[in-house]
Amino acid sequence: MITYSSSYNAANTLDLRDAANYGNYGSGAAKSSMGSYGMYAGAISSTVLGIQDSINSSKLAKMQYQLSARQHSFALEQNTWQNGMIDLQRKSIGIQGEQARMAGRSAMVEAKLHEALARINARLAESAAQGALHSGQRQEQAKRLETAAFKAKQRVSIAANGIDLSSETAVGVLTSTDMIGEIDANTISANAIRAAWGYRTEGVNSMTAGLMAGANGRMSAANANANAAAIESGKPSYVTAPLASAPFKPAGSSQGISNALLRGATQVAATYYQYNRGR
């Protein structure tokens, strides 16, 4: 039986190859025997070399995988650092976006406040206008009553003086009193209307200013929200680490060596059979 040990080296391989070449010299049975032995030794040498190549390939594959694993580990650390920086950027951008949204909400609140104040001022102005009209009406009525009372005193005085009330003089005096009283009453009414108009104009102006302020506030809020959306849309994406190579499988030391052994064993068996026949 022929066995392979770890002490088998290149020198043995050269000896086997020399033995194979030696089979070319001599003649007859000796030449045939030595030739078969040389073929047998060459088959063993080829098998050993194949196994060594498989082992070397396995070691190379393992070294390549270890290098790939280290590169992947470095890539993971680098991506962790990059994602940390990106996370800070995203938080900073989020804060800026939230500040913009807060500015928008503040503008909206201010707009609603201006509109509410405008409505309140408009109501106050309308109330003042109504008060001016009611006050004018009361003053007008008081003036008419005063004119009527004064006219009654005039009639009593004219009659007491023996003047006929239907006379031209009495009619003229009483008519003058009526005219003066009407003028005063109309003046009071006109003043009340002008005061009410002024209050209502003030209310309209206040309402218009409030609506304009509200519209400007809503526009500012919309711009702030758009600005916030634009800021937040600029958030960078996280970096994804590349996948590591497949886990190391010692193909060269298991499957590869097994294939080499099978091929070598087949070749050695065939050569050994020819060697025995030659003997």
pLDDT tens by residue, 79-104: 788 888 888 888 888 888 888 888 88
* Contact criterion met (CB below 8 Å) for 180 and 147: yes
Phi and psi angles of residue 75, each rounded to the nearest 5 degrees, phi first? -65, -40
Residue 86, number of CB atoms within 10 A of its CB: 16
Amino acid at 185: A
- Alpha-carbon distance 207 to 114, whole Å? 9
* Contact criterion met (CB below 8 Å) for 97 and 178: no
Question: Looking at residue 94, what is its pLDDT?
Answer: 82
Helix (DSSP H) and strand (DSSP E) numbers for the chain: 4, 0
Question: Looking at residue 10, what is its pLDDT?
Answer: 44
Question: Looking at residue 252, what is its pLDDT?
Answer: 43
> Which burial class, exposed, middle or buried, applies to 271 when counting CB atoms under 10 A from its CB (0-12, 13-18, 19+)?
buried
Phi and psi angles of residue 237, each rounded to the nearest 5 degrees, phi first? -85, 155
Q: Where are the domains of the chain?
A: 10-234+250-278
**Which segments in the chain show pLDDT lower than 50?**
1-17, 19-27, 29-31, 243-258, 260, 268
Question: Looking at residue 266, what is its pLDDT?
Answer: 54
Question: Looking at residue 256, what is its pLDDT?
Answer: 45
How is residue 223 written in tokens? Answer: 């711009």
